[in-house]
Amino acid sequence: MKPLYPLSLAMIAIVACSDSTSPTSNLAARDGKSSGGTFTVSGSLTNDTFTFDDGTFSSSAGSTFTVESLTGGFGASAPNLGSVFNNASNKFIGRLDNNKVNLIVPNGGSAYDISYDLYIIGSWDGNGKQSGKQYGVDLFENSIACSATGPAVATLLRTTFSNQKTVQQSYPHDYGAGGGSNKAGDGAFAINALGYINDPTSHTPQFESYGDTWYKLHFTGLNPCGAGAAIFLQFTIPGATLQSNYDESWGIDNVHIMTDA
């Protein structure tokens, strides 16, 4: 939880996608995004699943993960694999705070299908309002770039999450898209299932917060970089606004990526 600081227009801008590249998502039936068509991605080029439980984050097909710091430089490095607090055998990329995770997929094909678990840990502040006070907005973004250093060319998800019961979140709507006044934990697959409410290294005010919320996300779309081009999936915190790893952290798990010719 943190005091509110003004956000720049660049931080709150929504990246628009054309009909030919816009993703579809399973955020909610009322939130279905126009995709310009129905995609069937059979995975004839890439069909990779990452559970991270074996300690690996690359595949024989060439897909691999790296992590960058948003505050201490942008040199990509291999990610740290943490363990879920109440299950040491369940590994995931995390715990992260102001970081960017990159999933590099050499065989982008003409269409993609990606699903993953997102763990929101600690006292995330969602839309930033609480009992008449204001705290900083906690945004999460998942997008696609066409090179390791290139800008995002398609945005799959740009939303806020809240673990504070008195603070609203945007999810399952996009942030700033005409909706997003939802209760903390709305749309979560599970709440307090990862055990962080009992973790002394994670800030969870008792009776006011969830220790963790677990979301299952799924997106499909046409390759915005062009048929056959590599795609660089980015998972990040716009503006590096998270308070600290102790206060607010996150992780990625159970990633499945398919691309089709």
Domain range annotation of the chain = 9-260
Give the model's confidence band at 20: pLDDT under 50 very low, under 70 low, under 90 confident, else very high.
very low
Asked if pLDDT for residue 221 goes beyond 70, the answer is: yes
| Of 192, 237, 187, the residue nearest 216 (C-alpha) | 187
Question: What's the pTM?
Answer: 0.85
pLDDT at 29 over 50: no
Calpha distance 161→168 (Å, rounded): 8
Residue 244 has a pLDDT of 86
CA gap 156, 23 in Å, rounded: 6
For the chain, the maximum distance between any two Cα atoms, rounded to a whole number of angstroms, is 53
Report residue 132 as tokens. Answer: 């008449």
Residue 201 scores a pLDDT above 60: yes
Q: When comparing pLDDT for 38 and 92, which is higher?
A: 92
Residue 57 has pLDDT above 70, yes or no: yes
> With bands split at pLDDT 50, 70 and 90, how would you rate the model's confidence at 179?
low
49 CB-side CA count, 13 A: 3
Dist. CA 117–CA 254, nearest whole Å: 6
**What 3-state class would DSSP assign to 134?**
strand
Q: Which position has the higher pLDDT, 201 or 261? A: 201
Cα distances from 178 to residues 107, 175, 248, in angstroms, run 35, 8, 26
Residue 37: is its pLDDT beyond 60?
A: no
- Full DSSP string of 195-228: SGGG-TTS---TTTB-SEEEEEEEEEEE-TT-TT
203 pLDDT band, cuts 50/70/90, is: confident
Convert the pLDDT of each residue in 109-121 to its tens digit: 999 999 999 999 9
pLDDT for residue 232: 97
